[in-house]
Structure 1
Amino acid sequence: MSNETYRRFDPWRVSPVKEDSRHQVVASHYFNVDEVTLSTPQAGTFQRYVLQGSNGDAVGVIAITDDDRIPLVEQYRIPTHRWTLEIPGGHATSPDEKTPDVAARKLREEAGYTATRLTPFCRFLDAPSFAAHHTSLFYATGLKPTDRGSLGPETPRPDVRLFTLDEAYEMVVNGTIVDAKTIIALLRLYTAPGHNLGQ
């Protein structure tokens, strides 16, 4: 039995480091990178690089068709030189594009559906050790097929595959699905009461 006093977790308690300076070293259409100089009495001065999203949160959309199938998109990812299965997702194209609008656009462009209802259900930090960037997840229902757009040079017209929740969950467990937003969305749906994130 520990004699330590129990302390409630407080994510906003006093910082153990002092930020001395910050300047942007990279600007891109998806993200920016800041070089940050910090200091502590124990360690002295040190530098870190912090990734910031350019136009707000990234999004991911887990959608359910009328026959209880989940559309997953085959994407070729350049950083890892591999194909992935992912829920539709992406970034705003301008600072004026709102997060729900990004979700609706990516569902249409990548999966080929519109939704009568888009419900936000989760927001998480992508990589808190080096990024101040969030992803917001949406649950889409009332799907209707629509025309898809051309996405980009990596995967101009990715294939869309439909899976039951049990099939998708199995692919998470066996390591076929490795994309973090997709894993989080599928596990949240799998553990939701009655498999309904809109409750």
Structure 2
Amino acid sequence: MTETLFETRWLGVYRIGHWDFVRRPNADSAVGILAITPDDEIILVEQFRIPVQRPVIEIPAGLVGDEEEFRGEALEETARRELLEETGYHAAKIEPLVVSPTSAGMTSEFSHLFYATELEKREAGGGVGGENIEVHLVPRSSIRDWLREKEQAGLAIDLKIHAALWCAGF
């Protein structure tokens, strides 16, 4: 039986037996998208993340079903929509890479990573509702050096980038 210890609109703290954990009351999954442009560039996003108090380089991502209008949406469609919102790119082809617990000792959330190709720039991107997302197009051939430079400059690098690259065979 799950006991609710604390809950807001966006985050809850729960207990099962002796274990406390967090979960989002409105979503239990997230999508992340490894998107490759026709010019063989990897699309990454950068945004300031309050919990870590610094900018983070990430693959485009978003929560599944956190908004009423998108409840029940297929995971592939959530990934396609989030990619468009954050980067302005539409993916004609999107395929699953891997599903994994986000942080199994802390949260019940699962991350679904996708590989997106056949991209077309349709919008400006940048996110919605004040997300303030900066989009980076990084040549695939220099991705590791680029990430190392960003890390040395003090930015955090989300582990899902490396997982998605590995799963896609890069």
Q: Structure 1 length normalisation: TM-score? A: 0.71
Percent of pairs with identical residues: 29
Match of 2:95 in 1: 119
Query: Offset of 1:31 from its aligned partner?
Result: 4.3
Q: 1:68 aligns with which of 23, 40, 64?
A: 40
Matched, 1:161 2:140: no
2: CA distance between counterparts of 1:108 and 1:34? 33
Q: Any conservation in 2 of the 1:74–1:84 contact (CA below 8 Å)?
A: yes
Relative contact order higher in (CA < 8 Å, ≥ 6 apart): 2
2: CA distance between counterparts of 1:180 and 1:30? 23
2: CA distance between counterparts of 1:134 and 1:103? 14
Contiguous gaps of at least 5 residues in structure 1:
1-20, 39-46
Q: Any conservation in 1 of the 2:126–2:134 contact (CA below 8 Å)?
A: no
Please give the residue correspondences for 1:98-177 in structure 2 after superposition, counting only pairs within 5 Å: 98-147=74-123, 148=125, 150-153=127-130, 155-156=131-132, 158-172=133-147, 176=151
More helix as a share of residues: 2
Q: Show CA shifts across 1:154-181 (max 9, x none).
A: x43x221111223222345677262122
Match of 1:185 in 2: 164
What is the number of equivalent residue pairs in this alignment?
A: 160
Please give the residue correspondences for 1:21-40 in structure 2 after superposition, counting only pairs within 5 Å: 21-36=1-16, 38=17
Q: Show CA shifts across 1:125-157 (max 9, x none).
A: 11111212110000001100011364233x43x
Matched, 1:77 2:49: yes
Q: Structure 2 length normalisation: TM-score? A: 0.82
Report the structure number with the largest CA radius of gyration. Answer: 1
What secondary structure is seen at the aligned counterpart in 1 of 2:39? Answer: coil
Contiguous gaps of at least 5 residues in structure 2:
none
